[in-house]
């Protein structure tokens, strides 16, 4: 009995000493699979500009002030259009949680790409943008199974989104962490294979492996399949300048059956506000509704000519006004002249026509067409007028994606919006508008010749 008791005590002491034994070994590059599985960003916004989910693996990325050295990981991403970044999510792992929340500080850096690697590294400069804060600061959310995932709310952190021009960049994240007290943090890997292989850097050659330059993680982990790190960037892509030949037209009759667009009336929202049109003819692309790749003939009022247009998109548009400026009689006649009522705007559903949005609009994205073209909004709240559909007299809460500001708006009108471009003239034809003078010239010449001949005959008869 005594022997069994002593054995039990010995096992207990060994188990209790394991963390100390691990710490005594010093930092390691990776623990292998963390066993935490795939974890998602806590914000879960539909506005994911870049998303590489976790696959459960990990690699070191920490600085240890008690040792005076650290090692860092980074992965690349790219944007074809300018981005306004609102948040950055990075999932991680630690064998002794909650090491991340006990860190001295947290650090995010974005580097330009130079020859397929970051243009610098922490402590050496070269970053395009960086931000550091305490783990308990309000702009930070620490989450996940072991509370080792971190989200930075950039809007809260710096009062405005991070604007990133088009290009290829590298994200680096690491905590400053006392190893002797709290151990080590690892950045989780991803099963995606985007762009270049993620990189690892050991500036002081602690691991004696020569990884003193940015080294592919596939080499560091001795795993050819290792390619990316897990992270998620959320925000808004800034649309490039709209081609000058696009027209945004708004149906003055509200929503209508897209299977029968003939004889509908429209007014232009952009680029020339409130020019009026009549849809005179329609050539369907075969799907039976007014949609992309249809051809329509629009008659510009009051005395313009009929002209063919190519349909680029069909979607839903709202005319909204601040509550103290909304219409009181339940109608919203088209604005007169070139001025919109004070504190009102037209916003267009992003992504195209979708009637289901009218039943549940919360979480949808809209961009302003007039008066300020292409500001983007997230519809975050809806007060229905008991009709169970988005229509006149509803209230909607819009968040400006550029500033983060929210405000309530009154819905004045729900209608259809089409984006069109002029159809090019047929090959060998003449550019619009067609001059009819060349066509009439032979007939005019014949008429002049006949008139002149008649005049000569009349004069001869008079002389005789």
In this predicted model, what pLDDT tens digit does every residue of 109-163 receive, in sequence order?
999 988 889 999 998 888 989 999 999 999 999 988 777 899 999 988 887 788 8
Shared-domain flag, residues 283 and 332: yes
Residue 464: inside a domain:
no
Give the global pTM. 0.50
Round the average pLDDT of the chain to a whole number and report it: 79
Shared-domain flag, residues 284 and 191: no
Asked if residue 339 has pLDDT above 80, the reply is no
Residue 302: inside a domain:
yes
Asked if residue 71 has pLDDT above 90, the reply is yes
Asked if residue 382 has pLDDT above 50, the reply is yes
What local confidence, expressed as pLDDT, does residue 16 receive?
A: 41
Residue 4: inside a domain:
no
Shared-domain flag, residues 230 and 251: no
Residue 458: inside a domain:
no
| Strand-pair category, 167-176 with 83-90 | unpaired
Between 293 and 267, residue with greater pLDDT: 267
Cα–Cα distances in angstroms (integers) from residue 405 to residues 253, 278, 399, 408, in the given order: 32, 38, 5, 11
Which residue, 205, 237, 269, sits at the end of a domain?
237
Whole-angstrom Cα distance, residue 318 to residue 176?
A: 49
Residue 10: inside a domain:
no
- Number of independent structural domains in the chain: 2
Phi, psi of 413 (to 5 degrees): -160, 145
What local confidence, expressed as pLDDT, does residue 245 receive?
A: 76
Residue 459: inside a domain:
no
Shared-domain flag, residues 309 and 352: yes
Cα angle 338, 340, 343; round to 5: 150
Shared-domain flag, residues 390 and 409: yes
Confidence of residue 447 (pLDDT cuts 50, 70, 90): low
Phi, psi of 286 (to 5 degrees): 110, -10
Asked if residue 416 has pLDDT above 60, the reply is yes
* Mean of pLDDT values over 41-61: 76
Shared-domain flag, residues 324 and 262: yes
What local confidence, expressed as pLDDT, does residue 331 receive?
A: 39
Whole-angstrom Cα distance, residue 229 to residue 193?
A: 10
State the residue range of the domain holding 162: 21-237
Cis status, amide bond into 371, omega within 30 of 0: yes
Shared-domain flag, residues 285 and 191: no
Shared-domain flag, residues 352 and 318: yes
Asked if residue 39 has pLDDT above 60, the reply is no
Residues 6+ apart with CB under 8 A from 307: 297, 298, 299, 300, 422, 423, 432
Place of tokens 């075969």: 286
Shared-domain flag, residues 358 and 413: yes
Residue 395: inside a domain:
yes
What local confidence, expressed as pLDDT, does residue 217 receive?
A: 95
Facing residues of 85 across strands?
Answer: 162, 235
Percentage of residues in the chain with pLDDT exceeding 70? 76
Sign of CA dihedral 93, 94, 99, 103: negative
What local confidence, expressed as pLDDT, does residue 11 receive?
A: 46
Which residue, 175, 202, 237, sits at the end of a domain?
237
Asked if residue 389 has pLDDT above 60, the reply is yes
Percentage of residues in the chain with pLDDT exceeding 90? 42
Residue 173: inside a domain:
yes
Asked if residue 88 has pLDDT above 90, the reply is yes
Cα–Cα distances in angstroms (integers) from residue 259 to residues 144, 176, 286, 349, 395, in the given order: 49, 62, 11, 20, 30
pLDDT in tens, 198-234: 999 999 999 999 999 999 999 999 999 999 999 999 9
Confidence of residue 342 (pLDDT cuts 50, 70, 90): low
Shared-domain flag, residues 199 and 321: no
Shared-domain flag, residues 173 and 292: no
Asked if residue 274 has pLDDT above 50, the reply is yes
Shared-domain flag, residues 95 and 47: yes
What local confidence, expressed as pLDDT, does residue 208 receive?
A: 92
Whether the CB-CB separation of 125 and 208 falls below 8 Å is answered with no
* Lowest model confidence (mean pLDDT) among 50-54, 113-117, 402-406: 402-406
* Mean of pLDDT values over 18-41: 54
What local confidence, expressed as pLDDT, does residue 227 receive?
A: 93
Between 170 and 164, residue with greater pLDDT: 170
| Start-to-end C-alpha separation, the chain | 158
């Amino acid at each position: 009995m005594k022997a069994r008791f002593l054995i039990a005590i010995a096992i207990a002491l060994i188990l209790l000493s394991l963390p100390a034994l691990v710490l005594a070994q010093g930092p390691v590059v990776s623990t292998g699979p963390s066993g935490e599985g795939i974890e998602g960003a806590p914000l879960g916004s539909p506005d994911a500009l870049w998303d590489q989910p976790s696959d459960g693996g990990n690699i070191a990325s920490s600085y240890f002030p008690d040792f005076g050295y650290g090692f860092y990981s980074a992965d690349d991403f790219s944007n074809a259009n300018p981005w306004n970044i609102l948040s950055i999510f990075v999932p991680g792992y630690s064998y002794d949680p909650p090491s991340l929340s006990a860190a001295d500080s947290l650090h995010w850096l974005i580097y330009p790409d130079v020859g397929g690697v970051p243009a610098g590294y922490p402590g050496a400069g070269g970053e395009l943008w960086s931000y550091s804060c305490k783990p308990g600061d309000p702009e930070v959310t620490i989450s996940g199974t072991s509370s080792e995932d971190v989200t930075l709310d950039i809007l809260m952190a710096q009062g405005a989104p991070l604007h990133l021009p088009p290009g290829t960049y590298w994200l680096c994240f690491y905590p400053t962490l006392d190893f002797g007290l709290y151990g080590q943090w690892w950045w989780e890997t991803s099963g995606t294979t985007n762009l270049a292989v993620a990189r690892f850097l050991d500036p002081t050659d602690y691991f004696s492996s020569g990884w003193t330059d940015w080294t592919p993680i596939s080499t560091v982990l001795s795993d050819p399949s290792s390619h990316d790190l897990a992270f998620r960037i959320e925000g808004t892509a800034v649309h490039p300048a709209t081609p000058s030949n696009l027209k945004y037209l708004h149906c003055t009759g509200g929503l209508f059956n897209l299977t029968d667009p003939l004889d509908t009336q429209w007014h232009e929202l952009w680029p020339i506000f409130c020019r009026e049109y009549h849809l005179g003819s329609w050539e369907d692309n075969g799907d039976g509704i007014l949609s992309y790749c249809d051809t329509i003939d629009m008659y510009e009022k009051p005395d313009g000519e009929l002209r063919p247009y190519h349909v680029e998109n069909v979607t839903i548009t709202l005319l909204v006004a601040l509550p103290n400026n909304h219409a009181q009689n339940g109608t919203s006649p088209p604005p007169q002249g070139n001025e919109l009522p004070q504190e009102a705007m037209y916003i267009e559903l992003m992504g195209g026509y979708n009637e289901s949005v009218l039943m549940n609009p919360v979480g949808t994205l809209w961009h302003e067409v007039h008066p300020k073209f292409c500001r983007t909004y997230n519809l975050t709240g809806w007060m229905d007028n008991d009709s169970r559909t988005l229509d006149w007299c509803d209230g909607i809460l819009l968040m400006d994606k550029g500033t983060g500001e929210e405000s309530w708006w009154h819905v004045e009108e729900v209608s259809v919006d089409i984006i069109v471009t002029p159809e090019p003239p047929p090959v060998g034809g003449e550019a619009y508008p067609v001059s009819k003078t060349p066509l009439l010239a032979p007939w005019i010449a014949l008429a002049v010749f006949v008139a002149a001949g008649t005049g000569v005959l009349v004069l001869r008869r008079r002389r005789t």
